[in-house]
Structure 1
Amino acid sequence: MNFESPGDFFAILFAPVPNAELRLASDKSNIFDAPTGALIVIPRNVDSSSRWSSLRMNLTVGFEPGQLDVLAEQEFGAAELDLQPPAFGHVDQRALQIAQLVKQELSGGPASEIYVDSLMTALGIHIIRNYSGAGKATTGAKAHGGLSPRIARQVEEYLRERLSSTVSVAELAALCDLSPGAFIRAFTKTFGAPPHRYLINLRLSFSAELLAQTELPISEIAHSSGFSSQSHLTSTMRKYRHTTPAQIRGGRTRVQTQS
């Protein structure tokens, strides 16, 4: 595979790749045994090529041009981002952990956009901190405690008003005048759950209310609550509430009949 990306590009291996061949911005290829958890960093606009002779299982991530620069400035106050790729075969357990969480989320049906966004934010911060000089800067926006009561109410109202919309970590962080990483920490400390879990709970509560109080079709309730389909609502409700939309509506019918 020959590759050059206008944005920063990463790959994390889920399984070993023997006799992997990789070249970055030079005429010399390096042949090595890539272990599980090997992190490959390809900075923007760097010509690369890779070759492998067995099944390769990995998560590949490409950030849009300038996206990591913005994150580096927000988190570390860095004016410029200069990625420094690690040695070939370098294992990064934190990157592997994030990659496994992404794989799990993407393999389990419709994914939570804000959860994947949170994981990509965590990966970006980790890469900047450990594989660039920008990680040594310390003037970025930090949050040592939770959100103030006023900001917490503002964020919750914002989420409630956009239950059926895609919400990003960046826009929520901007609402609080915090960096994305600082926002996730402050939100979790304030609400006792990370943003994606809290948003899922709001959506499930809203859908349960509609199921109990209206005759709207379940498919319509699912879309109004921010779920991609009726089956998505059903699987999420079963996972987090140990019930289903049909059971909630059926329970309501029995109560009405008895009364």
Structure 2
Amino acid sequence: METPIEVPTIWNQIAETMYLRDSPTAEIKLSELSSFSFARLKITQGIPDMTRPILGESGYIIALQLKAIPHVELFLGKKRVSSGYYPVGAVGAIQLQEEPACFLPDPFDALAVHVTQAALDEIAYAHQVPYVDRLIWPYGTIDPIVHHLGQTLLSSLEHPQQTSKIFMDHVLQALNCHLVSSYGNVTLSDRRFRGGLSPRQARRATELLEAHLDGDIPLQQVAEACELSVSHFARSFKKTFRKPPHAWLLERRVDKAKGLMLNSRLPLADIAAQCGFADQSSLNRSFRRIHGIAPGMWRRNSKRGSSSYAV
């Protein structure tokens, strides 16, 4: 039985310091798939008073604006560091140790990602680059990459049943790499990375992934089984298999579905469930993306001339 994951204290602090707790106009939606590493914060009436500072926390909150804010003021300690209009896609990299507070008199809708210093250090270590001791990004400036990744995270909040843990970990890993590179002003390169997984590691990783065809396994668990950090494992896996773990796993699901379509009379909805897809629509999208044809048509073409199959 899995040990329940505790909600990080940062989210309780945000709810309390921003007066969101028990507010009828506020909503905080946390991602359980990502061990509560990000959330959507939404309030329809704004906050009439200055928020209290967040105390005793470390790491960063990466805040992505999902709707434009007419006016916002951000303070680190007692110093105002930003004031004005934030457009859709604007990003703020807020260092929690500096005790941030803000004034948000208008309605807002934002995606907030909690990034730990340990996660950033792991990226730097795996890429053999200097550690980043501070993320710097002009407050309120649009970042297209964070905006794009943020839409994927947002989709997982709205449709968690269609998203796997291992894919979420992949997206968050990509975000952390971008933060180290663009916000930490460090160049990440694969030129010095030549190693892949050992045969034993490759076998252990694929065994674990195939045992969780639905992707309901954290990337960290697979990495630990290979005695590697998450970042090093992700790079080694891609070096070995020419694709990231979530993409490799998706292809295995589709391969299993093809076998069932050819060798059984099961309807596609049942095949989708047996192969770890959320539903038949998810199978259809993935199959078409890989093979360029709908699974039902592929089945008919492959079995043309034989008895009819339920679809």
The answer, yes or no, to whether TM exceeds 0.5 is: yes
Per-residue Cα deviation, 1:207-229 (whole angstroms, up to 9, x for no partner): 11112112233222212211111
> Pick from 65, 74, 89: which aligns with 2:140?
89
Number of the residue aligned with 2:214: 164
Per-residue Cα deviation, 1:183-232 (whole angstroms, up to 9, x for no partner): 22221121111222111111111111112112233222212211111221
Residue aligned with 2:214, SS: coil
1:14/1:58 contact within 8 Å kept: yes
* 1:25-104 alignment, distance < 5 Å: 25-26=77-78, 28=80, 30-34=82-86, 38-44=90-96, 46-51=99-104, 53=106, 59-62=111-114, 68-72=116-120, 74-76=122-124, 86-89=137-140, 92=143, 94-96=145-147, 98-99=149-150, 102=153
1:13/1:38 contact within 8 Å kept: yes
Contiguous gaps of at least 5 residues in structure 1: 136-141
* 1:15-26 alignment, distance < 5 Å: 17=69, 19-26=71-78
Shift of 1:169: 1.8
Q: Which has the higher strand share?
A: 2
* 1:136-175 alignment, distance < 5 Å: 144-175=194-225
> Pick from 198, 215, 220: which aligns with 2:265?
215
Mapped to 2, the partners of 1:185 and 1:194 lie a distance apart of: 8
Per-residue Cα deviation, 1:62-84 (whole angstroms, up to 9, x for no partner): 35xxxx2542454456xx99766
Residue aligned with 2:304, SS: helix
Residue 200, structure 1, aligned to residue 250, structure 2: yes
Contiguous gaps of at least 5 residues in structure 2: 1-46, 126-130, 187-191
Per-residue Cα deviation, 1:101-131 (whole angstroms, up to 9, x for no partner): 5467878993344223212123234445776
1:237/1:243 contact within 8 Å kept: yes
2:123/2:180 contact within 8 Å kept: no
Shift of 1:43: 4.0
Mapped to 1, the partners of 2:194 and 2:148 lie a distance apart of: 25
Mapped to 2, the partners of 1:29 and 1:181 lie a distance apart of: 33
Query: How well do the aligned residues superpose, as a CA RMSD in angstroms?
Result: 4.0
Mapped to 2, the partners of 1:50 and 1:236 lie a distance apart of: 44
User: Aligned letter for 2:219?
Assistant: V
- Structure 2 vs 1, CA of residues 130 and 239 (structure 1 numbering), >3 Å: closer, same or farther? closer
**Aligned-residue identity in percent:** 26
Q: After alignment, is 219-228 or 40-49 more displaced?
A: 40-49
User: Aligned letter for 2:94?
Assistant: I
Corresponding residue pairs, total = 246
Q: After alignment, is 14-23 or 114-123 more displaced?
A: 14-23
User: Aligned letter for 1:89?
Assistant: G
Per-residue Cα deviation, 1:132-186 (whole angstroms, up to 9, x for no partner): 7xx9xxxxxx954222233223222221122135122212222222222222222
Number of the residue aligned with 1:229: 279
> Pick from 204, 229, 232: which aligns with 1:179?
229
Number of the residue aligned with 1:243: 293
1:105/1:111 contact within 8 Å kept: yes
Residue 110, structure 1, aligned to residue 162, structure 2: yes
TM-score (norm 2): 0.61
User: Aligned letter for 1:227?
Assistant: F
- Structure 2 vs 1, CA of residues 61 and 153 (structure 1 numbering), >3 Å: closer, same or farther? same
